[in-house]
């Protein structure tokens, strides 16, 4: 259990994702914005896993891959497409 590192990853990942969504969502190209959101979602998931007592390899695989794939889809559904509106 690595509490300090886990909390640091959760707080920094959340802060950066909020900064990206509010400041750069319409300014960045779509691939860059969605890629960054995916990486930051996986970062938050890694922080959560570091707070657990004994996460297994399957937990790491499913969490990181799932959040990296699902976070961009969720954000796109909620905020709309990134990049400049057509």
Read off the pLDDT of residues 49-82 as tens digits, 9 standing for 90 and up. Answer: 999 999 999 999 999 999 999 999 999 999 888 8
Which helix or strand (DSSP H or E) is residue 78 part of? helix 57-79
pLDDT of residue 49: 95
CB 39 within 8 A of CB 72: no
List the chain domain ranges.
3-79
Query: How many angstroms separate the CA atoms of 56 and 46, rounded?
Result: 12
Which helix or strand (DSSP H or E) is residue 46 part of? helix 30-51
Query: How many angstroms separate the CA atoms of 26 and 46, rounded?
Result: 27
pTM metric for this prediction: 0.89
CB 37 within 8 A of CB 10: no
């Amino acid at each position: 259990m690595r509490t300090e590192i886990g909390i640091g990853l959760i707080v920094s990942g959340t802060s950066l994702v909020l900064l990206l969504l509010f400041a750069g969502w319409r300014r960045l190209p779509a691939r860059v914005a969605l890629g960054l959101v995916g990486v930051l979602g996986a970062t938050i998931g890694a922080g959560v896993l570091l707070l657990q007592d004994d996460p297994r390899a399957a937990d790491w695989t499913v969490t990181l891959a799932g959040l990296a794939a699902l976070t961009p889809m969720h954000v796109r559904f909620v905020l709309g497409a990134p990049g400049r509106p057509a």
